[in-house]
Amino acid sequence: MVDQGSGADVMYPDLFKGLNLKLEDLTAYDSPLISFKGKAVIPKGQIHLLVQSGPETVYVDFIMVDAYSPYTAIVARPWLHALGAISSTLHVKVKFPSGGLIEEILGSQIVARQCISVAILHQGEPESSASATVDL
């Protein structure tokens, strides 16, 4: 998901595990985040990763949170600025300059709707006592 209004690039457990990352790979990140529900979330840490976007690669500092999300990650203003990108939520796309051309990353309206539906359905579920689940 691209969130133009956020200053934090966020990674969720599915992506963290899928990249075979370990808690030891994280550096300390002490500032809590505020979830979409308005609750404070304490991050597990931060990780500096190289992310390929089309032909361009940029470093992104992801804040890892152990929370439920239908997304694997949220990329925000830091990623957009590193690419020199413009995003359109209406068109579900991101455009950025690369090698004298304009590259385009297309999203899917269908997948975006499915993620929103899953997030809304999950809001009604009770939180686990073992670990709080928070939508970010």
pLDDT in tens, 5-24: 888 999 999 999 999 999 99
Q: Side chain identity at 103, as an amino acid letter?
A: E
The full set of domains in the chain, from first to last, is 2-123 (2.40.70.10)
Nearest to 106 by CA among 121, 92, 118: 92
Global pTM value: 0.79
pLDDT score for 134: 35
**Residue numbers of the chain with a pLDDT score lower than 70:** 119, 122-136
Q: What is the pLDDT of residue 129?
A: 34
Q: How far apart are CA 63 and CA 6, in angstroms?
A: 12
